[in-house]
Amino acid sequence: MVRIGELAEATGTTARALRHYEQAGLISSERASNGYRVYDERAAVRVRNIRYLLAAGLTLDDVRVFLPCLDGDVAAAPPSPTGLRVAHDRLAVLNERIAAQTDARDRLAAALRSVAVAGCLKWPIGGQQ
């Protein structure tokens, strides 16, 4: 059994993130006699897989779909139809957000060009160089 700080260090995360994963039902712990959280040594694999999926752009809710795979090599496991659907749905959400941010950036850039051309704006902003 490992304590929360040891698991956090072994997986490159924080104790706070581990408590969050536990609250989300992705990992579980027991309580030692002193009240500290302790985890099975195998929890490190599960946490690394959670972090891998989060880094790929999935949410904690999305990661729940992968619970049956989290104790093995999630990257090498054959994809399930549900897992693929969740990943495709998340990709669509990310693409929508990127498109919206790109539109906002383009509108702001056009507004800045328009104002700069009209001579109403000192460039760089604030007169600092």
For 27-55, the pLDDT digits (tens) are 999 998 998 889 998 999 999 999 999 99
Cα–chain center distance at 26: 14
Which residues does the chain have with pLDDT short of 70?
117-129
Query: Which regions of the chain does DSSP assign to beta strands (E)?
Result: 2-3, 30-31, 37-39
CB 2 within 8 A of CB 41: yes
pTM of the entire predicted model: 0.79
Between vectors from CA 65 to CA 78 and to CA 49, what angle results, nearest 5°? 65
Task: Determine the pLDDT at residue 124.
Answer: 57
pLDDT of residue 129: 43
Residue that the structure tokens 């969050």 belong to: 20
CATH number among 1.10.1660.10, 1.20.1300.10, 3.40.50.300, 2.40.30.10, domain 2-127: 1.10.1660.10
Strand order in the sheet with 30-31: 2-3, 37-39, 30-31
